[in-house]
């Protein structure tokens, strides 16, 4: 695990800015954790923004599809915005698949040390497929969709995530607690 | 002039977040004013970001050219990022031509009332062409470039700008003071 201590040092006006990137397969639980964590951080008095695909599509990424190039560009744009916000004292939660390691590392490199926290939501594909929140796994199985991350499109898991969240082995509350502690220890 | 009083009300943590969009022709003085204003606001203890074309191109807009559609998309992306930053207490300066009124109004509509300040840098095209900071007017005259805003591409000036800055009639210091006062009155 990397040293996250910088992220827990308050900025000038008492706010800790940090980008928390939740990477994992579709239906792994990224957005659910992000929304619950957002609530807790708002209760703490933090400034919080959640940048998920739906939130940014209309304004930032509507030209992008699902090629590797477009997926990387999606990560790059969201990562840049997260960088700007986090250096201004905002806790930015990005529940975004970000399947390619190089693109995630590029976003990390934009940030000052400790300002980028990579959370690997490590739910196995079988569990994700059973949950199938958006019906994507069923669509893929039925042959109506291709390029589903983790099934017939690549997913490169983090080799050294800052935080590991195995949602198949713990409750939502425990998952949120795990990430929250990593930001505060 | 619209009532800008909301912009001068401090947020919870004492920071005033606002987007200041400096629109005007190439070489009208937008970036020069933005940089000088940035310095003054930093001296005031504000959080400041300057989002100009060069700052965002690599991370946010590198796919975009100079068609009306692309120019509008450029304004839309920068405007969205400015909106996120300004609602988190940042003073965001956008020295961006933004030639079309509808795109600027779309960005204004994203913001809460008073959080978007449109500054019209009204330097006439003859003065801009004489300054020609980036050599664009000369290139256009020589026939090496087309689609230059205000010459052979449209520029729709604001009908009711929040702040008017005639750089041909006043010094840089006066221009900066004009905008600064509009943010603080």
Tens digit of each residue's pLDDT (9 = 90 or more) over B35-66: 999 999 999 999 999 999 888 988 999 999 99
| E strands present in B14-158 | 18-23, 48-50, 91-95, 116-121
Distance CA B91, CA B5 (A): 15
Residues 65-84 of chain A whose Cβ lies under 8 A from any Cβ of chain B: 73, 76-77, 79-81, 84
* DSSP label at residue A112: P
Q: Please, which pLDDT band fits residue B16 given cuts at 50, 70 and 90? A: confident
d(CA B164, CA B152): 24
The C-alpha atoms of residue B125 and residue B24 are separated, in whole angstroms, by 10
User: What count of other Cβ atoms lies within 10 Å of the Cβ of residue A72?
Assistant: 18
Bridge partners, A20 (sequence order): A93, A117
A54 touches chain B (CB under 8 A): no
Q: Which two tokens stand for residue B55?
A: 């700052």
> What residues in A contact B79, CB-CB < 8 Å?
59
Closest residue of A to B81, CA-based?
Answer: A81
C-beta of residue B81 within 8 angstroms of C-beta of residue B19 = no
Q: How far is A32 from chain B (nearest CA, A)?
A: 22
CA dihedral in degrees (B144, B149, B152, B156; nearest 10)?
170
Distances (CA, A) of A16 to A11, A89, A109, A118, B25: 6, 5, 19, 16, 39
A59 with B49: Cβ contact below 8 A: no
Determine the CATH number of domain A14-184: 3.40.50.300
Mean pLDDT of A110-132: 97
CA-based nearest residue in chain A for residue B74: A60
> Model-level pTM?
0.92
Q: Among 3.90.1010.10, 3.40.50.300, 3.60.15.10, 1.10.10.10, what is the CATH number of B5-184?
A: 3.40.50.300
Question: What is the rounded distance in angstroms from the CA atom of residue B1 to the CA atom of residue A86?
Answer: 34
Q: What is the pLDDT of residues B133-166, one digit of tens each?
A: 999 999 999 999 999 999 999 999 999 999 999 9
Question: Does the pLDDT value for residue A173 go beyond 60?
Answer: yes
């Amino acid at each position: 695990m990397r040293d996250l201590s910088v992220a827990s040092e308050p900025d000038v006006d008492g706010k800790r800015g940090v980008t928390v990137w939740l990477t994992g397969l579709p239906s792994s639980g990224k957005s659910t954790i992000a929304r619950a964590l957002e609530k807790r951080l708002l209760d703490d008095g933090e400034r919080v923004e959640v940048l998920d695909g739906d939130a940014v599509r209309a304004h930032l990424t509507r030209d992008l599809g699902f090629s590797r190039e477009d997926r990387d560009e999606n990560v790059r744009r969201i990562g840049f915005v997260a960088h700007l916000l986090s250096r201004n004292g905002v806790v930015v939660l990005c529940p975004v698949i970000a399947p390619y390691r190089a693109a995630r590392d590029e976003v990390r490199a934009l940030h000052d040390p400790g300002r980028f926290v990579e959370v690997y939501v490590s739910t196995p594909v079988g569990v994700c497929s059973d949950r199938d929140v958006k019906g994507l796994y069923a669509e893929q199985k039925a042959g109506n969709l291709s390029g589903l991350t983790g099934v017939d499109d690549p997913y490169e898991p983090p080799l050294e995530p800052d935080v590991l969240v195995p949602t198949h082995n713990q409750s939502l509350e425990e998952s949120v607690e795990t990430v929250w502690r990593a930001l505060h220890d």
